[in-house]
Amino acid sequence: MGGTGFLAEDGMSEAKPKRPEQTGAKQTGDDRLPGDPDRETLIERMIRVDHAGEYGAARIYAGQLAVLGKHPVGNTIRHMAEQEKKHLAAFDKLIVKRRVRPTLLSPIWHAAGFALGAATAAMGEKAAMACTVAVEDVIQEHYADQSEQLGEDEVELRDLIDEFRAEEIEHKETGLAHDAEQAPGYRVMSDFIKTGTRAAIWLSTRI
């Protein structure tokens, strides 16, 4: 009888570090709505779609480099391509570590990413940069959404996403600095690529 009282009074129970869910800190999935996937599915989907997205991004830059690699803008594109490879390598590791099934659509992103990069690059440097701005803008928004959904129980993943998002924003700014907006038909092309990128995100989350 006295034993439990003693324990409670000497503060031992207070000394134990509190788990985040006991401190009121945000947890992943806290803002889920009825009918939304459970926490594990949510994280699995995030890793699947991010892995697919980084794969697609790496392929877009590969396509651009196939056309503009020896052009003066080649080194700028190469720098972004290297960062995409680093992003992809991180998600390659995560997909194994967290046992996430990769998207079944990789063969499509392999071809479509490269084709998009090469086709826009063939239209010229500004069109290639317009493609970069459109894609990176959608991706950075997508990463912001994910970061918002992740809680203190997923700090590592959230930090990674925040870090990559900062680089996607840099890529977008690089595109703008290279006169992306002066590409012929900029608006139409940008809307078209953004719609395609959003569709790719939607599909890769689920399939």
**135 Cβ partners below 8 Å, 6+ apart?**
57, 60, 193, 194, 197
Ranges within 107-126 binding Fe ion (CB under 5 A): none
Which residue among 171, 183, 190, 201 contacts Fe ion (CB under 5 A)? Answer: 171
Q: Which stretch binds Fe ion (CB under 5 A): 30-38, 64-72, 160-168, 190-198?
A: 160-168
Q: Cα–Cα distance between 48 and 53 in angstroms, integer?
A: 9
Contact flags string 73-92 toward Fe ion, x per CB under 5 A? -----------x--x-----
What the block records as the tokens of 32 is: 């889920």
Q: Cα–Cα distance between 67 and 73 in angstroms, integer?
A: 11
| Contact flag: residue 137 with Fe ion (CB under 5 A) | no
Cα separations in angstroms, 200 against 45, 109, 110? 13, 8, 12
Closer CB to Fe ion, 26 or 78, in the complex: 78
Taking CB positions, which residue lies at the least distance from Fe ion?
87
Output the DSSP codes for 75-132: HHHHHHHHHHHHHHHHHHHHHHHTTPPPPTTHHHHHHHHHHHHHHHHHT-HHHHHHHH
| Contact flag: residue 59 with Fe ion (CB under 5 A) | no
What the block records as the tokens of 182 is: 């002066």
Q: Rounded to 5 degrees, what angle do the CA atoms 142, 62, 141 make?
A: 10
| Contact flag: residue 178 with Fe ion (CB under 5 A) | no
Closer CB to Fe ion, 54 or 154, in the complex: 54
Q: Which stretch binds Fe ion (CB under 5 A): 1-9, 10-18, 31-39, 169-177?
A: 169-177
Closer CB to Fe ion, 52 or 100, in the complex: 52
- Residue 11 Cβ vs Fe ion, minimum distance, rounded to whole Å: 48
State the number of CA atoms in the 13 A half-sphere of 49 facing the CB. 22
Which residue among 168, 186, 190, 201 contacts Fe ion (CB under 5 A)? Answer: 168
- Residue 148 Cβ vs Fe ion, minimum distance, rounded to whole Å: 18
Q: Cα–Cα distance between 186 and 163 in angstroms, integer?
A: 28
- What is the total count of residues that contact Fe ion (CB under 5 A)? 6
**Residues in touch with Fe ion (CB under 5 A):** 54, 57, 84, 87, 168, 171
